[in-house]
Amino acid sequence: MKEEAKVLSYWGHRGDLSRCGKNSWLIKKGREKYRLLRRDAGDGFAMSEAAVRCYLADRGFSYQPRLCLGEDGAVARRDNSEYLSEHWSGAGRFPFDDGYHVIEAARVLGEFRNIMMDFDWREHGFPIKEMLHRPRRLEQMLETGERCQSSFRHLLPQEEMEDILSRGKRSLSVLSGPLYEKVSGNILRNGGVAYRAIRRRGLMLHHGEPLLTDFSRLSEDLPVVDLWQLLRRYFSYEGSRGEVIQSAITAYEAPCPLAIEEKNILIQLLCFPYVLLRNLERLEKDKANDRLRRETVHILRAEHFHKNFYRELEKEGSYENCH
């Protein structure tokens, strides 16, 4: 812990954040304030963060993450938080391993009041209407994707890229309809915003309740991440995709029952994955950027896309009309 102690002491006495990195935590111990440098422990990174937060909660430490907007509307930091500077670096066991059921996590992730925590978008002028612009952004992504298919030829089979674009167009036809506006309006009326960038770094567990913590890009209308794939990839969950979707949708429709067509649109919101528009736009300008190409292909294959998605749902007998 010598390296972390230097960071803590350096910030506490000189007030300079330049050596702390962007992944540091604000911590308080007595009247002293410090920056605790968070170490990247590979796949165990978010797991150790969740373990730390649970450790704090079990010992009576209170923390209320509060979102502070920077000049560009992005989150600059989290204030009014109390953390304990303990030995916690390294990969730890995610609390799901201790008996907490993954399906319950999916249900809670669907509750907007938990996802938004204490952030009041009305007070801060949050660009709430951006959510309704998603169909147009998807359309832009598809246009860009068709233009730069050649950038992926040596990394991604042509038929796979065409399949991705085809499914994107199918989803666009659903999201451009009037029912999408109806569902979006229902979400907005209930005071919530869909957090569509579910990642392991932004997921924690507090008193057995999953919470999302990374709001730095919430205003950008990011791509949907398939929750079922996330659970399988990082938490070794072997349940069916239909079970996870059903649990999340049950929470979505708690304030107001949904018609089958509305449920199908929510499936698109929860599970339809598409490539990062920004990556494609950058690739179009810099076709020789091999690192960016590989990163985008990783998003296409490992994180977002599953070629048998609809086939699996039909096999499970869930949401036969979703496509």
Report pLDDT digits (tens) over 215-258.
333 323 333 334 444 444 444 455 565 665 565 556 555 545 66
The pTM of this model reads: 0.27
Residues 196 and 155 in one domain: yes
Mean pLDDT of all residues in 63-77: 27
Angle (deg, nearest 10), helices 134-147 and 277-285: 30
pLDDT of residue 136: 54
Place of tokens 């509750």: 111
pLDDT of residue 118: 30
216/72 Cα distance (integer angstroms): 11
Helix (H, G, I), strand (E, B) or coil at 151: helix
Cβ atoms 308, 168 nearer than 8 A: no
How many helices (H) and strands (E) would you count in the chain? Answer: 14, 6
Residues 79 and 162 in one domain: no
Residues 240 and 269 in one domain: yes
pLDDT of residue 223: 32
Q: Which of 195, 262, 259, 255 is nearest to 230 (CA)?
A: 195
Place of tokens 């390294």: 90
Of the two residues 110 and 116, the one the predictor is more confident about is: 110
Cβ atoms 304, 223 nearer than 8 A: yes
Cβ atoms 85, 34 nearer than 8 A: yes
- Residue ending a domain, among 75, 92, 109, is 92
Helix (H, G, I), strand (E, B) or coil at 36: strand
Count how many Cα atoms sit within 13 Å of the Cα of residue 246 in the half-sphere of its side chain.
11
Residues 120 and 190 in one domain: yes
Q: What CATH number is attached to the domain comprising 108?
A: 3.90.1200
How many domains does the chain divide into?
2
Residues 281 and 266 in one domain: yes
Per the structure, the complete domain to which residue 39 belongs is given by 1-92
- Residue ending a domain, among 92, 113, 135, is 92
184/182 Cα distance (integer angstroms): 5
Residues 231 and 143 in one domain: yes
Residues 228 and 98 in one domain: yes
The two three-digit tokens of residue 154, written as one number: 């040596």
Cβ atoms 97, 55 nearer than 8 A: no
- Residue ending a domain, among 44, 62, 92, is 92
Residues 133 and 250 in one domain: yes
Cβ atoms 83, 56 nearer than 8 A: yes
Please, which residues bridge with residue 24 across strands? 37
